Amino acid sequence: MRLSFFVPVALLGLGAFGCGSSDPQANVPPGGATGYPPGYPPPAQTVPAQTATAPQPPATVGGPAQPVSIGMLGPAAAVLAAGSPDTKGMTAEGSAFAGQFQQGQVLEQPFNIEPNKCYTVVGIGGPGISELDVQIQYVTPFPTPPVAQDNQTGPNATLGGGGSCWRSQPLTAVPGKVIIRATGGAGIAGAQIFKK
């Protein structure tokens, strides 16, 4: 026998063990792609049970609040303009200002701190504000702590109230700012600076 006879026969035998048919349906297992006999669907997938979670408090955002018109504070805007018993005998320093706050955001209002003047700042939080804080700070090239701060809790804050307005210490006028912060809640809040 010749060797040339065995080579073609061997190659024909290898073709039977090749990659399979080029027909895509020929390689599908019996019962279809799911492996289950025709007419029998696979078992339903189980979905993990969802557990109830308690509502989370709003996240503290920080950063600057969005300035808005004082009129957006509604009737409280008139209260700011009229002052309060804490501002009796004082005059408004500039206009009232307001902002739309997320919890933790601040709104700053620059003003000149005059020597030997006494200042009171009245802040009012609208619906949604649960804690409002008011501070006075000198404007310097370097960060400084507040020089005055309200000591009240709740949506309204008065710095220098109760007949004890905050008195400036500089010998000359210096730049300062009032900072109002929505420490709790979110919504519109505003403030007015008074002096005498």
CATH of residue 175: 2.60.120.380
Query: 7 pLDDT band (50/70/90 cuts)?
Result: very low
| Nearest Cα residue to 108 out of 93, 97, 95 | 97
Q: Which structural domain, as residue segments, surrounds residue 130?
A: 66-195
pLDDT of 12 > 50? The answer is no
The reply to whether 164 falls in a domain is yes
The reply to whether 12 falls in a domain is no
Count Cβ atoms below 10 Å from residue 107 Cβ, excluding itself: 23
pTM over 0.85: no
The reply to whether 127 falls in a domain is yes
Tokens at residue 79, please?
Answer: 């209260």
The reply to whether 58 falls in a domain is no
H runs (alpha helix) in 24-181: 75-82
Q: How many domains does the chain have?
A: 1
The reply to whether 93 falls in a domain is yes
Q: What is the mean pLDDT of the chain?
A: 80
Tokens at residue 119, please?
Answer: 């200042």
Chain-centroid distance of CA 31 in Å reads 55
Position 35 scores a pLDDT of: 57
Count Cβ atoms below 10 Å from residue 111 Cβ, excluding itself: 17
The reply to whether 2 falls in a domain is no
